[in-house]
Amino acid sequence: MSTTVTLVGKRAPVLDQGWIELQDLMGDDLAIVNAARVSYMGETKGPEQDKKLLFYLLANRHTTPFEQVEFKFRVRAPVLVWWQWVRHRTWSFNAQSGRYTPFEESDFYFPPAWRMQAKSNKQMSEGTLPASEGAELTSALAEHYQRSFALYQAALNRGVSRELARIFLPGFSLYYTWVAKTDAHNLMHFLDLRMGPHAQDEIRAYATVIYQEFFRPALPWTAEAFERHVLDKRAAQ
- Of 61, 74, 99, 194, the catalytic one is 194
Of 153, 197, 191, 144, whose CA–CA distance to 172 is shortest? 144
Alpha helices in 86-200 (DSSP H): 131-157, 162-165, 184-194
The C-alpha atoms of residue 137 and residue 93 are separated, in whole angstroms, by 33
Q: Is 194 a catalytic residue?
A: yes
Q: Determine how β-strand 115-117 pairs with β-strand 125-128.
A: antiparallel
The residues, any chain, with a CB within 8 Å of residue 175's CB and separated by 6 or more, are: 17, 18, 76, 77, 78, 107, 108, 109
Closest CA to 211 of 227, 234, 233: 227
Residues 6+ apart with CB under 8 A from 9: 21, 22, 23
How far is Cα 212 from Cα 208, in angstroms, rounded to an integer? 6
DSSP bridge pairs for 95: 178
Residues designated catalytic: 194
